[in-house]
């Protein structure tokens, strides 16, 4: 089944002939970049958008992975932070982010004569609340993984099969996803969340989130790691570190990490 899906994606790229990839460095867009490059070679271009919502470490990962694949990789700055519709952090915040991204990529694609732009949206993504997908569709961005029906599990299995060492890389959405809807997003808030997550990464944690709620940092860990965290981490030192980043309070979410947790408020907002 996976082999058939891989052949289908390669057929899609063969028909495109030249393609520009919205490349975040995540496991999804990296698989798309790998298959596109294997199919079209130098007729592919991977573009990463740089903004305050992207950790510098994520950009470095994207560069390393693109080099390993062999694909040409460039980056552009996007200016979603200048849009009050984005910084106000409404429930459709991602729509304004992806609109900025794909408007920027469209101009670049036209200038460099790439007739197609593709992204790394997978078949599972369209089952979740993802307003950014609508922005991409409005701009005729194609999602080969969706077209073929490739899920997140498929992405990881295919990446492993193709020998990509980052096949099991944790999902790392933009830092703006760490804020509850309605809380204004600022560069300083993004930076303090980013620094806090880098601190936890250096302690050895991979699948987690630091949610920002006002002056409070709420740490979400895999449930099985919570007890170990409490027993083995120097909590006093961690709190001091987080306060140095600009947080006043530091808490631990006892439910643990769950992707898309902040979207549960949307269910509460929906009338019966």
Residue 271 predicted with pLDDT over 50: no
Helix (H, G, I), strand (E, B) or coil at 249: strand
pLDDT of 1: 84
DSSP count for the chain of H helices, then E strands: 12, 7
Tokens of 72: 């040409």
Tens digit of each residue's pLDDT (9 = 90 or more) over 26-69: 999 999 999 999 999 999 999 999 999 998 888 999 999 999 99
Cα 41 off chain centre by: 25
Q: What is the pLDDT of residue 93?
A: 95
Confidence of residue 131 (pLDDT cuts 50, 70, 90): very high
Model pLDDT for residues 138-147, shown as the tens digit of each residue: 999 999 999 9
Cβ 218 vs Cβ 211: under 8 Å: yes
* pTM > 0.75: yes
The dihedral of CA 88, 23, 100, 117: what is its sign? negative
DSSP secondary structure letter of residue 111: H
């Amino acid at each position: 089944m996976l082999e058939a899906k891989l052949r289908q994606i390669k057929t899609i790229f063969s028909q495109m002939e030249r393609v520009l990839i919205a490349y975040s460095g995540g496991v999804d867009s990296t698989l798309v970049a790998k298959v596109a490059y294997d199919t079209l070679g130098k007729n592919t271009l991977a573009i990463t958008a740089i903004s305050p919502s992207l950790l510098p470490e994520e950009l470095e990962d994207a560069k390393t992975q693109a080099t390993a694949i062999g694909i040409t990789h460039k980056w552009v700055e996007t200016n979603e932070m200048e849009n009050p519709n984005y910084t106000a952090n409404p429930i459709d915040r991602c729509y304004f982010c992806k609109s900025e991204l794909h408007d920027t990529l469209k101009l670049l694609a036209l200038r460099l004569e790439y007739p197609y732009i593709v992204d790394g949206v997978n078949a599972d993504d369209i089952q979740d609340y993802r307003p950014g997908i609508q922005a991409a569709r409005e701009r005729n961005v194609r999602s080969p993984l969706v077209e073929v029906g490739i899920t997140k599990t498929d992405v990881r299995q295919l990446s492993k099969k193709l020998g990509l060492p980052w096949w099991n890389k944790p999902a790392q959405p933009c830092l703006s996803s760490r804020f509850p809807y309605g809380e204004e997003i600022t560069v300083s808030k993004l930076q303090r969340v980013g620094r806090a997550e880098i601190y936890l990464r250096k302690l050895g944690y991979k699948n987690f989130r630091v949610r920002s709620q006002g002056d409070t940092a709420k740490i979400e860990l895999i449930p099985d790691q919570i007890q170990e965290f409490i027993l083995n981490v120097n909590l006093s030192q961690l709190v001091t570190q987080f306060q140095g980043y600009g947080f006043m309070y530091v808490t631990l979410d006892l439910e643990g990490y769950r992707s898309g947790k902040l979207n549960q408020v949307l269910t509460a907002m929906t009338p019966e």
